[in-house]
Amino acid sequence: MNHTTTTWYFNTAGDRILLADDSNDDWWKGLIEDRIGYFPAAFAHELQEADHVFRCNRTFIGCKEQGQLTLKEGQ
């Protein structure tokens, strides 16, 4: 199945990817800004209409003992 208008969220980088081809179960082809290429399908998920995406605007060093996450600016 080919998608040309679906927006995807790249978990590890925080990037939105315009999916160009998901015909392979393991590797998908997508577009980020002016770059196009392949990425592991397991590293992305499709955004649903009700999903909210947040971007970290400052780095926060969390305390593992208190169950806090460390976030880097831009994630």
What digits encode the pLDDT tens for the residues 2-54? 544 455 444 445 677 888 999 999 999 888 777 788 888 888 878 788 888 77
Higher pLDDT, 8 or 56: 56
Q: What is the pLDDT of residue 25?
A: 92
Higher pLDDT, 28 or 74: 28
CB neighbours of 44 closer than 8 A, spacing ≥ 6? 8, 9, 10, 11, 17, 28, 30
pTM of the entire predicted model: 0.53
